[in-house]
């Protein structure tokens, strides 16, 4: 799936910093690693980074479905079925890139 060791600092500089605020008000920072369309919905793979954009190796990437609410993009947890199918899509795309 995602190979964090292949992401150089220069590459990370090209990513837009995404801030997600949890229900308890804690802000976490992410960079978009990849996205895929599945059943008409967009799913995004987010890699945890520091506020400065440096990779946080101790944290796991997350998968989110992008939805629009009041004209703004929000990130929603996928259903279990969506998660499994989208991960399979990412793995398929990764295998095709390696060929």
| Torsion on CA atoms 93, 59, 74, 84, rounded to nearest 10 | 40
Asked whether the beta carbons of 27 and 20 are under 8 A apart, the reply is: yes
Where are any strands of DSSP class E within the chain? 17-21, 27-38, 41-49, 62-69, 72-76
In a domain, 3, yes or no: no
What is the reported pTM?
0.74
> Could you read off the pLDDT of 3-39 as tens digits, one per residue?
444 444 544 456 678 888 888 999 999 999 889 999 9
SS3 39: coil
For the residues 47-55, what does the mean pLDDT come to? 89
Q: How many domains does the chain have?
A: 1
On the question of pLDDT at 67 being above 80, the answer is yes
Asked if the structure places residue 37 within a domain, the reply is yes
- The reply to whether 6 falls in a domain is no
DSSP tag of 6: G
For residue 81, what is the enclosing H or E element?
helix 80-98
Please state, for a pLDDT cut of 70, what percent of the chain lies above it: 85
Does position 98 have pLDDT exceeding 90, yes or no?
no
Query: What is the chain's mean pLDDT, rounded?
Result: 84
């Amino acid at each position: 799936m995602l190979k964090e060791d292949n992401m150089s600092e220069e590459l990370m500089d090209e990513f837009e910093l995404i801030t997600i605020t949890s229900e308890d008000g804690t802000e976490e920072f992410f960079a978009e690693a990849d996205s895929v369309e599945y059943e008409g919905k967009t799913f995004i793979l987010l890699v945890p980074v520091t506020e400065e954009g440096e990779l946080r190796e101790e944290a796991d990437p997350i998968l989110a479905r992008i939805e629009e609410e009041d004209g703004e993009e929000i990130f929603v947890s996928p259903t279990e079925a969506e998660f499994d199918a989208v991960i399979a899509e990412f793995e398929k795309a990764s295998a095709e890139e390696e060929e």
